[in-house]
Structure 1
C-alpha cells in the first residue's frame, strides 16, 4: 500500500517488527496510526470498536484507561518475549500511562509507547495538550525522544523497537508531532531487521563461579524473570539438574522447575537463605525481595548472573558475577563446572534437607487449603483453584494481602505462566495483563486474582474484555479492606485509618452490568462450584469471594 501520511510510515515499520496488537485509548493526536493499521474502511463499516487486524496489520484494541493499554502492552512483552506496543494520545493520555511505563522499567519489559504530541507548527502557542513529554519519561525508559520528522519517522520507530528489545530490555517512549503524523509520508526504511549480536559471558568469570560451586556445600540457585525473558528456561533447568542444585524461583521463572520437582525448594526459601553458604542469583535484581543480597546472616557468598552488565548489583560485595546471554551462560557455566570437577554429590545431604523442609511446609498447609472456616479463610480459595487449573494456565496476581498467598501457594507447572506487578508494586495491572494473556495464549485458561482494593483501580476494563470477546476468570478476595496496610498499621499504632472498604461490595454485579457474568460466594463449599461455572462460561466472569477480614498474610520482617 502506498504511504499516505506519517501514520502509514510508522505502521509499516511496526508491521516489520511483527506487532500483532496495538493497545490504545482513542485520541485525535494519533488518528493516523489507527488509519495506518486499519487501511481502507470495509463496506458496511466496522462494529463494536474492534479492528481485528490481518496477518500484516496490528489489531487495534481500545481500552477504558491508558494505564490499561500500557499494562496490556507490557504483559504482551512478558508473555511473548517480543516488544509490546501501546499508542497514547498527547498530554493526559501519556501521563495516564506513566505508571505502566514505570512498571515495565522495573520489570525489564520491552515495550514501545508511541505518544501523540501537539503540532510542531503551533509549538509554544498553547495548542491543546501541549506538553514536552520525553523529559517526564526519561528516568523510567531506555529512550525517550520526539521523532525528528517525516523523513526520519521510520528510522525512529525502528530504533525504538531495537532499543526496547536489546538486553537489558525495557520500555521506550517516542512521541510524534501531530502535523508530522497527519502530514505527507516520509520514506520507508528498507532492509531486513538484523539478528541481535551474540552476548557470551567472560570465561574467566565463569571459571571463578565454578570454583565457588566446587568449594560450596550448601549452595542455592535463585532464578528470576530475566531467565524467562532471555529464553534461558531450558538451559537453566538443565544446569540445575546436572549439578543437583536446590532452586528458588521468582517472578516469571516460576515454572522453570515445575511444581513438585525434587529440586524446587521455593517453599523452604527461608531455611535455604538462612543456612546457605553460597547463593547464585540468576536473572533477578538483588532487591528487597531477596534481602538486598544478604543471605546466611551476611555470611553466605553471593554470585550474580545477569543478562547485561548494567544489571549486576552495585551494592553487594559479590564473590563472583557474569553477564551475557543467559542460555549460553548456563551452558558455559556447566562446562566450566565439569572442568573444575564440581561434584553434585557434595550437595546431596543439603538438598535432601531442603526437600524435606519443602514437603513439611506443603503438608502443613493441607488443613488451611481445605478450611471450612466461616468467614472464609483466603487459603481455601487457593485450595479449590488448584483443583481446576490446567498445566498451561496463565495466573495473574493484582493485589496485596490476597495475592501474597498466590505468590506462595500457586506453583506454575510451566515457565512464563505467572504475572504480577513486579518490584514496583503498582496495583491496577490486572485487567491489562488479563487482556494481553487472553490474546497471547488463546487456548489457555486465564485467571486474574484481584484484591478488592486492586479491583477498584481497573475493574471498569472488564468492559474491554466484554467488547473484544476475551473470556477471563476473575477471582476477588473480598475482605472489605486494604489488608496489606490495615494489619501492619494496627500492629504499629494499635488502630488503622484509611484502610476500610465497603464490606461485601458487589464487584460481580459491576462485571454483570458491563455485559459479563459473576456471582457472590460467602460459604467455603460454594467456591469450587463457582470456579467451575466461571471456567465453563466462556465469558468474562467474576467470582466475588467474601473472606475473613481478620486473617492477614503471615509476613516475615527480615526482608528475605
Structure 2
C-alpha cells in the first residue's frame, strides 16, 4: 500500500520518516535545513533543539535504542555534520537505527566556495550503514524510506542522507510505502548444532547483550534459558532481561561462571574487549548473532547461528533432545553470587570521608524506581554504576557502549525524557564527562525536561590517572580542578542542584533531586584515591 505525497523537499523527507513512527526531531538550527523544520512545524512533529550537534545525535540514538524505532537528527551543512560524527560513530558501534539528515551546499554552484561547502560522505561513510547525497527532489521519498529500512534491518545501525540546498528547498513528489523490514531467517542446521551443544553441556552459561533487547527477543531469551536450564548474565541493554529474583538470573558471579563453564553462549553482543575477546579457556563458544556479518572473525566458535534472534531463541526453547541436569552448576554459581552480593552490600553501606562511589550507588538504589532509565556517561564512576546498579526493566540502561565516547549524557537524557515523560531519568556522570555536554542542561530546561544528574566529582581523569601511575610511577594530563561546583553551572542554566560532601547527606539530596521539577544536579565530592579494580584487557 502506498500514499502519494507532494511538496517541498522537507515535507517529502518527513512524510517518509513519519511512516516509520518518527515523532520528534533533534537538531541545532541551521539555514540549510529550514524546509525540514517547516515540515515538522506543520505536521506537529516535536522539534527539540540543542546547544551542540553531538547532543542532537546522541538524543536520537537514545530514542532509537529505547523505543526500537528510528531516531531522527537533523544537522546543518559543514560543521553541523562534523560536530555530529561522534554521535554517528557511537550509534554505529551500538547498532542504533539513527537517521541523520544533513544540509548541503547547492550542487549548481559546487566548487565555487558556497558557505560550508564540503562533501560529507567520505567522513560519515565509514561509520554508517549507508551514506548518500540525494540530488533530485523527486527521489527524496524513496531515498529516505530505503535508508530507514537499511537502518532497521539487522544488524541495525545509523544512516546518513544530505540534500543540496536546491533539492531540499525544491518541490517534488513521491510515494510513501507501508514500512516493511526484512527478517533474516537463520539456518536450521546452525540452530540445531547450537541447541545440541548447549543441551549437552554440564556447565553452560549465557551472556545476553543489547541486541536481545533491540531485536525484541527478551521473552524468547527467558523461554530458552528456562527450557535449557542455563544461568544468564547480561550486559548493555540486555540488563534486566530476566527479572530480579529469577533463579537463572546472575550478575555478580560472572568471573566464576566464565572460569568454570564448558560452554559459553554469547547472544546479541560482540566478542570484544568486554568479554575478553571470547577467550574463555577450554570452554566451547556458541556465538548467536542477528546477522551473518556479526560473526566473530578473530576466532571460530563451535556454533554461530545468525538471524532474527526471536526465531533462534524460540527454536532453542523448543529443543526436543535430552539435556544435562545443571542443578549443581547453578547452585555453585548461586553461592558465588550470594557471597559477592554480601561484599557489595558492605561496600555500598560503608561510611568514608571522602565519599566512595560505592556508597553513592548504595543510596541511589534506595530511590530509583524499577523502571527508571539510568544513563552512564563517564569512566570509573560509571564503571561502578555497572557494578552496583541492577536494572530490572529491560531496555532501561544506556551507556556509551564499546566505542566509549564521553559526552553522551545530556543527549541521552533528552532522548530518554522525550521517550518516557513519566519515568525517572537519571544520568550518572563523571566530572570529566561533565565538561563535554553540561551546557545542554539549558536545552533540558528550555524544553521542560527534568532529569536527575549525579556527578561523581573526584577532580581527576580516574580512568587514566591510576593506570598511568601504576605504569610509570607518575601521571600527566590527568588532573581536573578539585571540588568544582557543577551544581552552580546547572543553577545558572535554569536548573537546580547541590553539592554533597558527607555520605549521610546523600539520601536526602537524591530525594530532593527526584522530587524536583527541573534538571537537578547532585555534585558528590568523591575520593580521588578510590580506583575501579579493572581486570579486562582493553586492547
TM-score normalised to the size of structure 2?
A: 0.97
Deviation, structure 1 residue 2: 8.1
Q: Is it true that 1:459 corresponds to 2:454 in the alignment?
A: no
Structure 2 unpaired stretches of 5+:
none
Counterpart for residue 369 of structure 1: 348
Counterpart for residue 212 of structure 2: 227
Q: Is it true that 1:304 corresponds to 2:287 in the alignment?
A: yes
Deviation, structure 1 residue 394: 0.4
Change (3 A) 1:321 1:557: closer
Deviation string 1:104-126 (CA, Å, 9 cap, x unpaired) is: 00000001000000001111111
Q: How does 1:93-172 map to 2 (within 5 A)?
A: 93-172=80-159
* Contact 2:5–2:176 under 8 Å retained in 1: no
Counterpart for residue 213 of structure 1: 198
* Contact 2:153–2:183 under 8 Å retained in 1: no
Structure 1 unpaired stretches of 5+:
40-55
Counterpart for residue 543 of structure 1: 522
Counterpart for residue 291 of structure 1: 276
Q: Is it true that 1:317 corresponds to 2:300 in the alignment?
A: yes
Deviation, structure 1 residue 3: 4.6
How far apart are the structure 1 equivalents of 2:5 and 2:419? 30
How far apart are the structure 2 equivalents of 1:58 and 1:18? 11
Q: Is it true that 1:243 corresponds to 2:228 in the alignment?
A: yes
* Contact 1:116–1:175 under 8 Å retained in 2: yes
* Contact 2:198–2:228 under 8 Å retained in 1: no
SS at match of 2:318: helix
How far apart are the structure 2 equivalents of 1:558 and 1:150? 50
Counterpart for residue 240 of structure 2: 255
Match of 2:480 among 491, 501, 507: 501
How far apart are the structure 2 equivalents of 1:120 and 1:559? 44
Counterpart for residue 182 of structure 2: 197
Counterpart for residue 42 of structure 1: none
How far apart are the structure 2 equivalents of 1:354 and 1:431? 38
Counterpart for residue 46 of structure 1: none
How far apart are the structure 2 equivalents of 1:214 and 1:2? 54
Q: Is it true that 1:341 corresponds to 2:344 in the alignment?
A: no
Deviation string 1:173-193 (CA, Å, 9 cap, x unpaired) is: 00000111112x111324322
How far apart are the structure 2 equivalents of 1:242 and 1:444? 33
Deviation, structure 1 residue 155: 0.9
Aligned positions, number: 536
Deviation string 1:46-90 (CA, Å, 9 cap, x unpaired) is: xxxxxxxxxx53211100000000000001000000110000000
* Contact 1:263–1:355 under 8 Å retained in 2: no
How far apart are the structure 2 equivalents of 1:366 and 1:410? 11
Q: How does 1:394-473 map to 2 (within 5 A)?
A: 394-473=373-452
* Contact 1:148–1:156 under 8 Å retained in 2: no
Counterpart for residue 66 of structure 2: 79
Deviation string 1:166-220 (CA, Å, 9 cap, x unpaired) is: 111000000000111112x1113243223x3343321111111122123311111
How far apart are the structure 2 equivalents of 1:210 and 1:163? 30
How far apart are the structure 2 equivalents of 1:191 and 1:459? 40
How far apart are the structure 2 equivalents of 1:198 and 1:459? 40
Deviation string 1:443-469 (CA, Å, 9 cap, x unpaired) is: 110000000000110000000000000
How far apart are the structure 2 equivalents of 1:366 and 1:190? 55
How far apart are the structure 2 equivalents of 1:482 and 1:559? 17
* Contact 2:217–2:310 under 8 Å retained in 1: yes
Deviation, structure 1 residue 150: 0.8
How far apart are the structure 1 equivalents of 2:205 and 2:7? 58
Match of 1:478 among 425, 432, 457: 457
How far apart are the structure 2 equivalents of 1:390 and 1:443? 11
Deviation string 1:250-308 (CA, Å, 9 cap, x unpaired) is: 1000000123332222211111111111001000000000110110x2x1100110111
Moved more, 502-511 or 204-213: 204-213
Match of 2:22 among 19, 23, 27: 19
Counterpart for residue 382 of structure 1: 361
* Contact 2:377–2:428 under 8 Å retained in 1: yes
How far apart are the structure 2 equivalents of 1:462 and 1:232? 34
How far apart are the structure 1 equivalents of 2:477 and 2:167? 47
* Contact 1:210–1:342 under 8 Å retained in 2: no
Deviation, structure 1 residue 242: 2.0
* Contact 1:428–1:454 under 8 Å retained in 2: yes
How far apart are the structure 2 equivalents of 1:214 and 1:258? 23
